[in-house]
Amino acid sequence: MKKKYSGITIVELFLVIAIMVIIASIAIPSLQRFFKINKYFNDVIKIEYSINKAKIMAMERTTNIGVCIENNELKLYDTGYERGNNPCTGTLIFVVKPEDKHTQIISNGTIIFDPRGLNILSGGNICIQNSNLNVYYRIIVGQGYLKTEKGEGTCL
């Protein structure tokens, strides 16, 4: 009579290990890219939230709130009651800094919200771009609207 063995052979063990190594070599880079994309969108969400927060704070405080970009940081300032054109003056209220070192915040134009929640000047935009992912997200603020656009590449 022959005896039946119920174990696995060394060849089967090496085959399973080889399959796991192949799967891991494919999954790990994808997972790293997922975390980079997630970190970028967290930065975008924080910045978009801060712009909406500035609008609401202007209405709550009945004063002008400026949205300022300095040193790759978004800063909110209480600019007072005067209708100036410099959003980077007054009392600093809030600061947002991107988590990812490849994310840059670029501003074009001026954004100052008045107590009605409207932009005082003709408008401006804030663009959040990531050079590593080659994507951008632009928040456009006009005198009565706020819209967004996203795409590949850099901010123009």
Q: Work out the angle at residue 90's Cα, subtended by the Cα atoms of residues 84 and 91, and round it to the nearest 5 degrees.
A: 150
Query: What does the block give as tokens for 95?
Result: 């600061």
Q: How far, in Å, CA of 33 to CA of 146, rounded?
A: 30
Give the residue-averaged pLDDT of 97-122: 89
pLDDT in tens, 4-61: 767 778 888 999 999 999 998 888 888 888 999 999 999 999 999 999 999 999 999 9
Give the chain's length.
Answer: 156
Q: Which domains does the chain have, with CATH numbers?
A: 10-152 (3.55.40.10)
